[in-house]
Amino acid sequence: MENIGLTHILFVSTTLFFIGVYGFLTRKNMITMLMAIELILNSINMNFVAFNKFLYADKLDGIFFTVFIITIAAAEAAVAIAIIIHLYRNIKSIDVDEADIMKY
Amino acid sequence: MTNLSILIIVPILTAIAVLFCRNTMQIKWTSFIGSIVQLCMASGLMFSYISERALGNTAQMLFQQRYSWYSALNIEYFVGVDGISVAMIMLTSFVVVAGILISWSVQTLTKEFFFLLLLLSVGAYGFFISLDLFTMFFFLEVAVIPKFLLIAVWGSGKKEYSAMKLALMLMGGSVFVLIGLLTTYFNTNINGLHTWDLLQVAHAQIPLQTQMYIFPFLFVGFGVFTALFPFHTWVPDGHSSAPTAASMFLAGISMKLGGYGALRVATYLMPEAAQEYSWIIVLLATIAIIYGSFATLMQKDLKYMNAYSSISHCGFILLGIGMLTKIAIIGAVLQMVSHGVMTALFFGAIGMIYERTHTRQLSDLGGLLKVMPFIGTVYVITGLCSLGLPGLSGFVAEMTVFVGAWQRPDAFHRTATILAAASIVVTAVYILRAAGKAVMGPITNQHYLELKDANWNEKFASVLLIIGILAIGIAPFWLYNLIAPDAQIIMENLTRGGIVN
Amino acid sequence: MLSQNYIALIPLLPIISFLFIGLIGRAYFPKFCGLIGTLSLLISFSLSAILAYQFFFEIGKVNGVYQKIIALKYTWLQFTPNIAIDMGILLDPISVMMIVIVTFISLMVHIYSLGYMHGDHRISTYYTFLSLFTFSMLGLVLSSNIFQIYIFWELVGVSSFLLIGYYYDKPSAVAASKKAFIVTRFADLGFLLGILVLSYYSETLDFQTLIQRLTTNGTYLSGIATASFLGASALTWGLMLVFMGGAGKSAMLPFHIWLPDAMEGPTPVSALIHAATMVVAGVYLVARLFPVFVMCPIALDIVAYVGIISSLFAAIIACTQTDIKRVLAYSTMSQIGFMMFALGVSGYAGEEGTGFMASMFHLFTHAIFKALLFLGAGSVIHYVHSNDMKDMGGLRKMMPITHITFLLACLAIAGIPPFAGFFSKEEILTACFHANKFIFGAAVLTAGLTAFYMFRLYFNIFWNKDFKSHHTHEEHHHGEAPKSMLFPLMILAGLSVIAGFVPFNKFVTADGAGFETEFHLGFAIGPVLLAIAAILLAWKMYAKENSMSDNVSNSIKGLYTSAYRKFYFDEIYLFITQKILFNLIGRPAAWVDKNIFDGLMNLIASITETVSGSIKTYQSGKAQDYAIYFFAGTLGFVLLFIYLWI
Amino acid sequence: MNTDFFILMKSEMSLTLMIFILLILKVWDEIKDNTTWLYLVNFMLLLNFAIGFMFNGDGSLFNGMFQNSPTLALEKNILNFGTLIISLLAFDWLKSHKHVPEFFMLLLSTLLGMFFMMSSGNLLMFYLGLELASIPLAALANFDLEKTKSSEAAVKMILLSAFSSCIMLFGISFLYGCTGTLNFAELPSLLGSGHLQILSLILIFIGFAFKLSSVPFHLWTADVYEGAPVTVTSYLSVISKAAIAFVFISTLSPLFINLQSMWYNILFLSIILTITVGNLFAIRQDNIKRFLAFSSIAQAGYILLGLSAGNQMGSTAIIYFLLVYLLSNLGAFGVIGLVSALADKENISDYKGFYKTNPMLSWVLAISLFSLAGVPPTAGFFGKMFLVTAGASKGNYILVIIASLNMIVSLYYYLRVVKAIFVDPNENPIAKVEGSLSSKVGMIVCMTGVIIVGFASNIYDLINQLTH
Q: Centre a 10 Å sphere on the Cβ of residue B371 and count the other Cβ atoms it contains.
A: 17
Examine the pLDDT at B498 and tell me if it is beyond 80. Answer: no
Q: What is the per-residue pLDDT across C267-289, written as a single tens digit (0 to 9) for each? A: 888 888 888 888 889 999 999 99
Q: With respect to residue A90, please indicate whether it lies within any of the assigned structural domains.
A: yes
Amino acid at residue number B285: A
**Parallel, antiparallel or unpaired: strands C61-62 and B62-70:** unpaired
Please answer yes or no on whether D164 and C630 come within 8 Å at the CB atom: yes
Number of compact structural domains in chain B: 1
| Residues of chain A contacting residue C619, judged by C-beta atoms under 8 Å apart | 103-104
pLDDT of residue B1: 47
Q: What is the per-residue pLDDT across C332-381, written as a single tens digit (0 to 9) for each? A: 999 999 889 888 888 777 777 888 888 888 899 999 889 999 998 888 88
Which partners does chain B have (≥3 C-beta pairs < 8 Å)? C, D
Question: Which residue in chain C has the smallest CA separation from A27?
Answer: C624
Please report which helix (H) or strand (E) contains residue C232, including its range: strand C232-233
Q: With respect to residue A65, please indicate whether it lies within any of the assigned structural domains.
A: yes
pLDDT of residue B501: 43
Nearest Cα residue to B124 out of B260, B29, B316 = B260
Number of compact structural domains in chain A: 1
Q: Centre a 10 Å sphere on the Cβ of residue D464 and count the other Cβ atoms it contains.
A: 22
pLDDT of residue C488: 87
Residues 6+ apart with CB under 8 A from B242: B150, B151, B155, B159, B162, B250
d(CA B234, CA B170): 8
Nearest Cα residue to B461 out of B341, B372, B291, B320 = B341
CATH number of the domain within which A94 lies: 1.10.287.3510
Q: What share of chain C is helix, strand, coil (3-state, %, to 5)?
A: 75, 5, 20
Number of compact structural domains in chain D: 1
| Residues of chain B contacting residue C590, judged by C-beta atoms under 8 Å apart | 294-295, 297-299
State the complex-level ipTM: 0.90
Nearest Cα residue to B257 out of B376, B396, B361, B120 = B120
Examine the pLDDT at B22 and tell me if it is beyond 60. Answer: yes
Amino acid at residue number C544: K
- Distance set, CA C572 to CA C315, C566, C567, C568, C587 (Å): 20, 11, 9, 6, 20
In a 3-state reduction of DSSP, which class is residue C401? helix
Q: How far is D464 from chain A (nearest CA, A)?
A: 36
* Cβ-nearest to B436 among C178, C577, C598: C178
Best of A44, A58, A60, A88 to substitute, by most chain D Cβ atoms within 10 angstroms, is: A44
Question: CB of C389 within 8 A of CB of C322?
Answer: yes
Determine the structural domain holding residue D392 and report its residue range. 3-466
Q: What is the per-residue pLDDT across C172-212, written as a single tens digit (0 to 9) for each? A: 888 899 889 988 999 999 999 999 988 888 888 888 888 88
Mean pLDDT value across chain B: 90
d(CA D241, CA B336): 48
Lowest mean pLDDT among C322-326, C641-645, D74-78, D357-361: C641-645
Please name the residue ranges forming H helices in C145-296.
146-164, 171-202, 207-215, 219-226, 234-249, 258-261, 267-271, 281-288, 290-294
Percent of chain C whose pLDDT exceeds 90:
13
What is the average per-residue pLDDT within B330-342? 94
* Cβ-nearest to C623 among A26, A99, A104: A99
The values of phi and psi at residue B242, to 5°, are -75, 150
- Burial class (CB within 10 angstroms; exposed 0-12, middle 13-18, buried 19+) of C537: middle
Q: Centre a 10 Å sphere on the Cβ of residue C25 and count the other Cβ atoms it contains.
A: 23
pLDDT of residue A42: 94
Q: How far is D363 from chain A (nearest CA, A)?
A: 29
Q: Centre a 10 Å sphere on the Cβ of residue C520 and count the other Cβ atoms it contains.
A: 11
Please confirm whether the linkage preceding B207 is cis (ω < 30° from 0): no
Q: Report the sign of the C-alpha dihedral through residues B313, B318, B323, B325, in that order.
A: positive
Nearest Cα residue to A103 out of D290, D151, D138, D300 = D290
Residues 6+ apart with CB under 8 A from C626: D156, D160, D219, D220
Please name the residue ranges forming H helices in B234-301.
234-241, 244-249, 255-261, 268-269, 271-297
Question: Which residue in chain C has the smallest CA separation from D264?
Answer: C641
d(CA D75, CA D80): 9
Cross-strand pairs, D287: D347
Determine the structural domain holding residue A85 and report its residue range. 6-103
Question: Is the Cβ of B172 closer than 8 Å to some Cβ of chain C?
Answer: no
d(CA D282, CA B197): 37
d(CA B151, CA B167): 10
pLDDT of residue C477: 52
pLDDT of residue C1: 45
pLDDT of residue D19: 94
Residues 6+ apart with CB under 8 A from C561: none
| Residues of chain D contacting residue A62, judged by C-beta atoms under 8 Å apart | 176
Chains B and A touch (3+ CB pairs under 8 A): no
d(CA B401, CA B329): 7
Q: With respect to residue A1, please indicate whether it lies within any of the assigned structural domains.
A: no
**Parallel, antiparallel or unpaired: strands C61-62 and B75-81:** unpaired
What is the mean pLDDT of each successive set of 10 residues along chain D, which is 468 residues long? 75 92 90 87 91 81 86 91 94 88 93 93 92 93 89 93 94 91 88 85 92 90 92 94 92 86 90 92 90 93 91 91 95 93 89 90 94 91 93 87 92 92 87 89 94 89 85
Measured at the CA of B219, the angle between CA B218 and CA B225, to 5 degrees, comes to: 100
Q: With respect to residue A69, please indicate whether it lies within any of the assigned structural domains.
A: yes
pLDDT of residue C473: 46
- Distance set, CA C11 to CA B401, D165, D167 (Å): 29, 93, 94
- Distance set, CA B342 to CA B93, B94, B239, B339, D385 (Å): 14, 11, 15, 5, 36
* Cβ-nearest to C634 among D198, D206, D277: D206
* Cβ-nearest to C193 among B168, B418, B428: B418
Chain A residues with at least one Cβ partner in D under 8 Å: 17, 20, 24, 30, 33-34, 37, 40-41, 43-44, 47-48, 51-52, 55-56, 59, 61-62, 64-65, 68-69, 72, 75-76, 79-80, 82-84, 86-87, 89-91, 96, 99-103
d(CA D291, CA D123): 35
DSSP D191: -
Q: What is the per-residue pLDDT across C107-117, written as a single tens digit (0 to 9) for each? A: 999 998 888 88
Determine the structural domain holding residue B431 and report its residue range. 5-497
Question: CB of A75 within 8 A of CB of C592?
Answer: no
Please confirm whether the linkage preceding D376 is cis (ω < 30° from 0): no
Q: With respect to residue A41, please indicate whether it lies within any of the assigned structural domains.
A: yes
Measured at the CA of D135, the angle between CA D131 and CA D138, to 5 degrees, comes to: 150
Q: How confident is the model at residue C474 (pLDDT cuts 50, 70, 90)?
A: very low
Q: How confident is the model at residue C4 (pLDDT cuts 50, 70, 90)?
A: low
- Distance set, CA D342 to CA C183, D92, D283 (Å): 71, 8, 27
Q: Report the sign of the C-alpha dihedral through residues B46, B52, B57, B63, in that order.
A: negative
Q: What is the per-residue pLDDT across B188-236, written as a single tens digit (0 to 9) for each? A: 888 888 899 998 888 888 888 889 989 999 999 999 999 988 888 899 9
Amino acid at residue number C628: I
Question: CB of B281 within 8 A of CB of B186?
Answer: no
Cross-strand pairs, B190: B193
Rounded (10°) angle between helices B144-154 and B234-241: 50
d(CA A92, CA A83): 13
Q: How far is C631 from chain A (nearest CA, A)?
A: 9
Q: Report the sign of the C-alpha dihedral through residues C168, C171, C177, C178, in that order.
A: positive
| Residues of chain D contacting residue A90, judged by C-beta atoms under 8 Å apart | 148, 151
d(CA D173, CA D204): 10
d(CA C219, CA C225): 10
First to last CA, chain B: 41
Q: With respect to residue A79, please indicate whether it lies within any of the assigned structural domains.
A: yes
Nearest Cα residue to B341 out of B396, B420, B263 = B396
DSSP C264: G
First to last CA, chain A: 56
Q: How confident is the model at residue C230 (pLDDT cuts 50, 70, 90)?
A: confident
Q: With respect to residue A48, please indicate whether it lies within any of the assigned structural domains.
A: yes
Amino acid at residue number C292: V
Best of C133, C196, C578, C580 to substitute, by most chain B Cβ atoms within 10 angstroms, is: C196
Q: What is the per-residue pLDDT across C598-621, written as a single tens digit (0 to 9) for each? A: 888 888 888 988 888 888 888 888
**Parallel, antiparallel or unpaired: strands C69-78 and C65-66:** unpaired
Cross-strand pairs, C89: C72
Question: CB of D176 within 8 A of CB of D182?
Answer: yes
Question: Is the Cβ of B409 closer than 8 Å to some Cβ of chain C?
Answer: yes
Nearest Cα residue to D226 out of D162, D294, D326, D139 = D294
Nearest Cα residue to C494 out of C506, C483, C486, C482 = C486
Nearest Cα residue to B21 out of B13, C16, C371 = B13
- Burial class (CB within 10 angstroms; exposed 0-12, middle 13-18, buried 19+) of C603: exposed
**Parallel, antiparallel or unpaired: strands B75-81 and B62-70:** antiparallel
| Residues of chain B contacting residue C189, judged by C-beta atoms under 8 Å apart | 421-422, 424-425
Question: Which residue in chain A has the smallest CA separation from C619?
Answer: A104
First to last CA, chain D: 30
Question: Is the Cβ of A80 closer than 8 Å to some Cβ of chain C?
Answer: no
Examine the pLDDT at B400 and tell me if it is beyond 60. Answer: yes
d(CA B188, CA B191): 9
Q: What is the per-residue pLDDT across C125-171, written as a single tens digit (0 to 9) for each? A: 888 998 999 999 999 999 989 999 999 999 999 999 999 888 888 88
pLDDT of residue C556: 76
Amino acid at residue number B469: I
| Residues of chain B contacting residue D372, judged by C-beta atoms under 8 Å apart | none
pLDDT of residue B217: 94
